[in-house]
């Protein structure tokens, strides 16, 4: 019997190298260039818009009174000018819980939901935090145990400068905390096969937006980091790309 497209794709996913792994490896950053660009090309800075001049237009009403949520969205920006001051454990708890934690504790774990949408409720994302300085927690790198809403210290010591170097971002050395988002891709690919990669990156964006809006509401600065040395950050966390890989970072700090 001829195999269906689904079965063929699933075989590829469950083979030695999945589509996610191939994409991850081909787009990995191994080192940053020291080349300084004096003038950025216009294609780097020009913002383009699309319109349909030939079709009718209907202007929408101007909004003068904004709700709290609307005001927070309006104020959202990427901030890199951190002071280096720490945040306390309570603030960190809020950032973790409302960005990526379980928000309905009743019922079975398989029915639990979080503060961002996940395709098929597969929740492939894992969260790690780099804490440089705080009165409540020793410096180190922690894994967020979402089930217990707790932090598991996997590395003890000051790692912020190293993580900032891995990301090629000097300004991140003054962050109060750096969120490292990884993906256990087979959680999603088991159901969605090759399409899973799209869903995983979309989901990471949802989680990051939560952190942006929460940071804005708490008066903190926030800036996402999409470029970093993939192999170095995975090695630091002692994770293997075939099972789990870092896909995003978000630095948060006191302004």
Q: What is the pLDDT of residues 187-225, one digit of tens each?
A: 999 999 989 999 999 999 999 999 999 999 999 999 999
Average pLDDT, the chain: 92
- Is 84 inside a domain boundary? yes
- Measure the CA–CA gap between 116 and 99, rounded to whole angstroms: 7
- Is 35 inside a domain boundary? no
Q: Give residue 5's pLDDT.
A: 55
pLDDT, tens digit (0-9, with 9 covering 90-100), for 57-102: 999 999 999 999 999 999 999 999 999 999 999 999 999 999 999 9
Cβ of 178: how many Cβ atoms within 10 Å? 25
- Measure the CA–CA gap between 56 and 218, rounded to whole angstroms: 42
- Is 213 inside a domain boundary? yes
Q: Give residue 86's pLDDT.
A: 96
CATH of the domain at 196: 3.40.109.10
Containing domain of residue 188, as a range?
18-27+75-102+112-254
Cβ of 172: how many Cβ atoms within 10 Å? 23
Question: At residue 122, does pLDDT exceed 70?
Answer: yes
Work out the percent of the chain whose per-residue pLDDT is above 70: 92
Q: Give residue 20's pLDDT.
A: 80
pLDDT, tens digit (0-9, with 9 covering 90-100), for 132-176: 977 789 999 999 999 999 999 999 999 999 999 999 999 999 999
Q: Give residue 29's pLDDT.
A: 81
CB 100 within 8 A of CB 144: yes
- Is 80 inside a domain boundary? yes
32-48 in b/e burial notation, b at 16+ Cβ within 10 A? eeeeeeeeeeeeeeeee
- Is 124 inside a domain boundary? yes
- Is 34 inside a domain boundary? no
- Is 11 inside a domain boundary? no
The angle at the Cα of 124, spanning 119 to 127, to the nearest 5 degrees, equals: 130
- Measure the CA–CA gap between 193 and 10, rounded to whole angstroms: 6
In order of 47, 66, 79, 92, 169, the CA distances from 44 in angstroms are 8, 33, 20, 35, 19
- Measure the CA–CA gap between 245 and 195, rounded to whole angstroms: 17
- Is 93 inside a domain boundary? yes
Question: At residue 233, does pLDDT exceed 80?
Answer: yes
Q: Which of 3, 19, 17, 2 is nearest to 188 (CA)?
A: 19
Please name the residue that has the structure tokens 């800036």. Answer: 223
CB 78 within 8 A of CB 224: yes
Q: Which residues contact 209 (CB under 8 A, 6 or more apart)?
A: 116
Domain count across the chain: 1
**Which DSSP symbol is given to 226?**
-
In order of 30, 47, 48, 49, the CA distances from 52 in angstroms are 42, 17, 14, 10
Q: Tell me whether residue 15 is exposed, middle or buried, using C-beta atoms within 10 angstroms of its C-beta: 0 to 12, 13 to 18, 19 or more.
A: exposed
């Amino acid at each position: 019997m001829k195999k269906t497209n689904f079965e063929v794709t699933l075989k590829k996913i469950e083979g030695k190298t999945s589509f996610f792994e191939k994409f991850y490896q081909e787009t990995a950053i191994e080192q940053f260039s020291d080349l300084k660009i004096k003038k950025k090309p216009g294609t780097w800075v020009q913002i383009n818009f699309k319109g349909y001049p030939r079709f009718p237009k209907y202007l929408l009403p101007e909004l003068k009174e904004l709700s709290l949520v609307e005001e927070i969205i309006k104020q959202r920006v990427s901030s890199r000018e951190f002071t280096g001051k720490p945040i306390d454990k309570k603030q960190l708890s809020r950032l973790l819980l409302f960005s990526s934690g379980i928000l309905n504790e009743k019922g079975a774990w398989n029915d639990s939901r979080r503060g961002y949408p996940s395709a098929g409720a597969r929740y492939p994302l894992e969260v790690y935090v780099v804490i440089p300085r705080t009165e409540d927690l020793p410096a180190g790198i922690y894994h967020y145990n979402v089930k217990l809403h707790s932090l598991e210290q996997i590395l003890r010591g000051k790692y912020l400068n190293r993580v900032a170097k891995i990301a090629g971002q000097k300004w991140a050395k003054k962050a109060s905390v750096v969120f490292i988002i990884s993906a256990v891709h087979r959680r999603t690919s088991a159901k969605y096969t090759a399409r899973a990669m799209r869903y995983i990156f979309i989901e990471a964006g949802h989680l990051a937006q939560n952190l942006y809006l929460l940071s804005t509401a708490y008066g903190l600065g926030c800036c996402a980091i999409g470029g970093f040395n993939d192999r170095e950050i995975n090695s630091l966390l002692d994770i293997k790309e075939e099972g789990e890989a870092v896909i995003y970072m978000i630095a948060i700090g006191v302004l």
